[in-house]
């Protein structure tokens, strides 16, 4: 069953074409990684899926209603004047949920991302990884059907980003949202996604669409298995071929 789709969408900015024509079908509960070189329109595709932008041509189909889509950006984008709890409660409060209830559910969302005890901390007092977890808690607090991640871990160190990748998979297992995430990192894409979509340099088109073998979330040591290496090779090859074309 399709949850959202981009059908032959194209986006033009003042400086020229940014995306497409590009087509992507998204099924309920699947995890798709969008991989491509800088400036290929990955983030634009994500904003189309979020309904934050309209395509110049083509069609965007979205099943999730208001409040059922969540976005996590490259930076944590937290409000510095609010506590972690108030930041995580924001989506609910904006939608009209009572303050008490919103804060209670925000506390649960923070606990889910491993931040129990840090509820009253301000963003300035949190490490980069912790701030990103607050951002993730804010995205999950509405229990969205569609979770969009725009290079969410690119500013973090390798150990933190691997820990967060496992956290996201664990949360996915619990809540089963469809996830689309944008990344430069092929290994991260293969590790986290059930499907990797490769894009050409901008304006991005489809350069390849790969199903990744193996169950989600990944078992320990998945990164050393032959399936993992094979998928990484295939995606890297498609990426290189797209660059050369």
Partner 1 sequence: MRRALEIAAPWALIALLIGGWEIACRALQVPPYLLPPPSRVAEALVANLPALLSAAWRTLTVAIVALVIASLIAQALAVLVALSPILDRTIRPLASVIQVTPVVAIAPLFLIWAGIDHPERALVALAVVVAFFPIFSGAVAGLKSADRDLERLFVLYGASRWQTVSRLRLPSAVPFLLEGHKVGAGLAIIGAVVAEFGAGSGGVRGLAWQILDAGNKLQTDRMIAALAALGIMGVALHGLLGLAEQAGLRWWRGG
69 binds partner 1 (CB under 8 A): yes
Q: Contacts with partner 1 in 127-146 (CB under 8 A)?
A: 142
* DSSP assignment of the chain: -EEEEEEEEEEEETTEEEEEEEEEEEETT-EEEEE--TTSSHHHHHHHHHTSS--SEEEEEE---TTSEEEE-SS----TTS-HHHHHHHHHHHTT--HHHHHHHHHHHHHHTT-TT-TT--GGGS-HHHHHHHHHHHHHTT--SEEEEESTTTTS-HHHHHHHHHHHHHHHHHH--EEEEEES-HHHHHHH-SEEEEEPSSSB-EEEEEEPPS-SSPPTTGGGSHHHHHHHHHHHHHHHHHHH-
90 binds partner 1 (CB under 8 A): yes
Interface region with partner 1, contact rule CB under 8 A, candidates 8-16, 29-37, 108-116, 118-126:
118-126
The structure tokens listed for 23 are 């087509």
Query: Of these, 17, 29, 51, 58, which contacts partner 1 (CB under 8 A)?
Result: 51
Residue among 82 and 155 whose Cβ is closer to partner 1: 82
Interface region with partner 1, contact rule CB under 8 A, candidates 67-75, 109-117, 159-167, 175-183:
67-75
Binding mask 163-192 for partner 1 (x = CB under 8 A): ------------------------------
If you search the block for the tokens 């950006």, which residue do you land on?
A: 73
Query: Of these, 8, 54, 61, 94, which contacts partner 1 (CB under 8 A)?
Result: 94
Interface region with partner 1, contact rule CB under 8 A, candidates 63-71, 109-117, 157-165, 180-188:
63-71
Query: Of these, 1, 14, 15, 66, which contacts partner 1 (CB under 8 A)?
Result: 66
149 binds partner 1 (CB under 8 A): no
Which residues sit at the interface with partner 1, rule CB under 8 A? Answer: 47, 50-52, 66-67, 69-71, 73, 75, 77, 79-83, 90-91, 94-95, 121-125, 142
């Amino acid at each position: 069953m399709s949850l959202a789709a981009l059908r032959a969408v194209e986006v033009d900015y003042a400086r020229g074409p940014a995306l497409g024509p590009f087509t992507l079908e998204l099924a309920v509960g699947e995890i798709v990684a969008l991989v491509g070189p800088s400036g290929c329109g990955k983030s634009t595709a994500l904003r189309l899926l979020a309904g934050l932008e309209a395509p110049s041509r083509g069609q965007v189909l979205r099943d999730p209603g208001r409040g059922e889509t969540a976005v996590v950006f490259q930076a944590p984008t937290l409000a510095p004047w609010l506590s972690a709890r108030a930041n995580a409660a924001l989506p609910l409060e904006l939608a009209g949920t009572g303050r008490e209830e919103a804060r209670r559910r925000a506390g649960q969302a923070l606990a889910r991302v491993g931040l129990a005890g840090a509820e009253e901390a301000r963003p300035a007092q949190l490490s980069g990884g912790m701030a990103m977890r607050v951002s993730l808690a804010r995205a999950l607090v509405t229990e969205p059907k569609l979770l969009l991640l725009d290079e969410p871990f690119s500013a973090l160190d390798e150990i933190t980003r691997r820990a967060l990748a496992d956290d996201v998979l664990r949360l996915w297992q619990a809540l089963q949202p469809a996830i689309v995430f944008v990344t430069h990192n092929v290994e991260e894409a293969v590790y986290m996604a059930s499907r990797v979509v490769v894009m050409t340099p901008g304006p991005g088109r489809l350069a390849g669409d790969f199903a990744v073998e193996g169950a989600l979330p990944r078992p320990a040591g998945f990164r050393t298995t032959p399936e993992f290496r094979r998928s990484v090779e295939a995606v890297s090859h498609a990426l290189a071929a797209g660059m050369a074309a």
